[in-house]
Amino acid sequence: MKAFVTGTSGFIGANLVRLLLQQGYAVRSLVRSTSCLDNLQGLDVEVVVGDLNDSDLSKLMEGCQVLFHVAAHYSLWQKDRELVYKNNVLGTRNVLAAARRAKIERTVYTSSVAAIGVGVSGAVVDETHQSPGEKLVGDYKKSKFLAEQEAVKAFELGQDVVIVNPTAPVGAWDIKPTPTGDIILRFLRRQMPAYVDTGLNIIDVRDVAWGHLLALKKGKSGDRYILGNQNITLKELLDLLEEITGLPAPRQTIPVWLPLTVAWVDEKIIAPLGKQPSVPLDGVRMSQQKMYYDASKAVKELGLPQSSIRVALQDAVNWFRQ
């Protein structure tokens, strides 16, 4: 079986491609002409160059039976608002329409828990929860919410689409890196003297890859599945990194008004002057909410693995160091 996969140069996509090849799938990988292909080096994949919004995308999909639409534009910078909506919402709409024309049999769409939103005061939520779109923090989360609606519309039109919502993956090939990877990298570089009192759900990125493949095989069309594992405070995550690396974790919390002030200055004053800001305002606003999720539906219905978070963090540390 041949799989058409978008987003293969990124973190989840690179791990998914490796799993698909290991499981005997042929892979056709969509990359942009400007993509860094380091994550695909040495892999037996068919690479095609294109864009999520290309009008002739269906031609590139011909001969493939299944689609994994993993690609998304991740940015919390307010200056990237238009790109975020163009790639995540319009791009998803175009990719799904292309899949229909190319007669793709089944699609797994990579949404995010960002599209689901968060519970009140850090409550754990599952797939049945939905924060109102206008209440989601920042354009990235709102774009993922709208993009997931595109997948739902495609299902309602008769397309076979399964939606997966990863939490915060951890592991190797985090090339950009992701926000969680950035925390690990800052910890290793001793650039985190203090921390914000927040929390998140983390999962081994290889389990996320398995979640995609299991969704293809067992997922119910039109349903969404949270691909997550352990709810953990940022303090607990940093303490785990201390145990793994022997480097001391920060002991001081930081009041959220301080990074909010820095981020506001960065985005409203520094960025318009043409300088590179360091802290995204939406990122700080997100950290005010504990992002806790229940992945039991994916565990029960798909058989989503729940591998050791400690091992995943060790893998991430090793990969970043190498």
Catalytic residues: 140
DSSP annotation string for 241-283:
HHHHH-PPPP-EE--THHHHHHHHHIIIIIGGGT---SS-HHH
Contact 185, 109 (CB under 8 A): no
φ and ψ at residue 263, rounded to 5 degrees: -65, -40
CB atoms within 10 A of CB 227: 32
Query: 277, exposed or middle or buried, with CB in 10 Å at 0-12, 13-18, 19+?
Result: buried
Distance (Å, whole) CA 259 – CA 247:
24
Parallel/antiparallel/unpaired status of strands 168-170 and 194-195: unpaired
309-319 in b/e form (b: 16+ CB < 10 A) is beebbbbbbeb
CA angle 148, 163, 91 (to 5 degrees): 45
The structure tokens 């994916």 sit at: 298
Distance (Å, whole) CA 75 – CA 178:
10
Distance (Å, whole) CA 303 – CA 215:
9
Contact 135, 117 (CB under 8 A): yes
The structure tokens 């290991």 sit at: 22
Contact 112, 166 (CB under 8 A): yes
